[in-house]
Chain A
Amino acid sequence: MKLQKATRCALFAVLELASDPQRQLSATEIADKYSLSSNHLAKVLRDLGRAGLVESVRGAGGGYRFSGNAKRATLFDVIKIFEDIDADCLINPEPGDDTDIGQALCMAMQEIDSIARGTLMSITIQTLLKSIHWNRERLPQAETETP
């Protein structure tokens, strides 16, 4: 599964900010940490703001902070803002989808989509952040970056 650039930007920003909800970070600080385009990230942060996942803080030391519910918001909630996840061969049929082979391929793709959707809808922001600590405990020798 390959996510679009905007989606990856959004996930990095949401997870970085949610790792410390009291902290405010500028788009540039987040962009520098994850080697992202700060212009692109600024646009993504505006979309995340409209979705209620982050909020901008004005004034000195201002920036962005996480404003969602980390126990409830899932990876799916972030991804659906930027990806057309409902696009499938039933809703948006493409040439060939109405043939026997097209329909059989469609069923295979729907099976993959169903598992992907179930996975993304069940991983909350908090659980993903916790998994970083579990990975560190399980692989203490691995060099992992603090979010």
Chain B
Amino acid sequence: MFERYGGRNGRFFLIAERDQKFIGFIIGEVRAWEFGSPPCGWIFALGVDPDVRLGGVASRLFESICGKFSEIGVDMVRTMLPVDDHLNMSFFRSQGMKGGPFIQLEKHLTDG
């Protein structure tokens, strides 16, 4: 995973360390999305050691990856979460993210 997303072709896998100990990560990439939306930064994984949560680690990771996206020239960052993932959704909202103009739809392929 790190080799695939470690800073290549608009892909980023950033990790946070404290005292040479791994305490968190964030993964994202710049991609164009469906129905003509322009390329934007996408965050699709984020994790912080539970022992250091509420210490600003995730905020630093978020700011860092947004900085990387900006360097590439995109001006929007997006993510997609389960509607009941209140922990991560609260975090992203605390960083200023809010509901956007797209909505995810789905269908079981076995449905009529």
Contact = CB atoms under 8 A, between A and B. Distances in A.
Interface of A: 71, 74, 114-115, 117-119, 121-124, 126-127, 130-131, 134
26 contacts: A71-B54, A74-B90, A114-B83, A115-B83, A117-B83, A118-B83, A118-B84, A118-B86, A118-B89, A119-B99, A121-B86, A121-B89, A122-B89, A122-B93, A123-B90, A123-B93, A124-B90, A124-B93, A124-B94, A126-B94, A127-B93, A127-B94, A130-B94, A130-B96, A131-B96, A131-B98
Interface of B: 54, 83-84, 86, 89-90, 93-94, 96, 98-99
Instruction: Give the secondary structure class of A's interface.
Output: helix
B88 to A, nearest CB: 9
Instruction: Give the secondary structure class of B's interface.
Output: loop
A23 B98 CA distance: 29
Nearest to A118: B83
Contacts of B90: 74, 121-124, 127
B104 to A, nearest CB: 10
B91 to A, nearest CB: 9
Contact of A134 (B83, B89, B96): B96
A74 B89 CA distance: 12
Nearest to A116: B83
A65 to B, nearest CB: 23
B108 to A, nearest CB: 14
B95 to A, nearest CB: 9
A138 B94 CA distance: 16
Given A114-B83, A126-B94, A130-B94, 13 more contacts: A71-B54, A74-B86, A74-B90, A118-B83, A118-B86, A122-B86, A123-B90, A124-B90, A127-B90, A127-B93, A130-B96, A131-B96, A131-B98
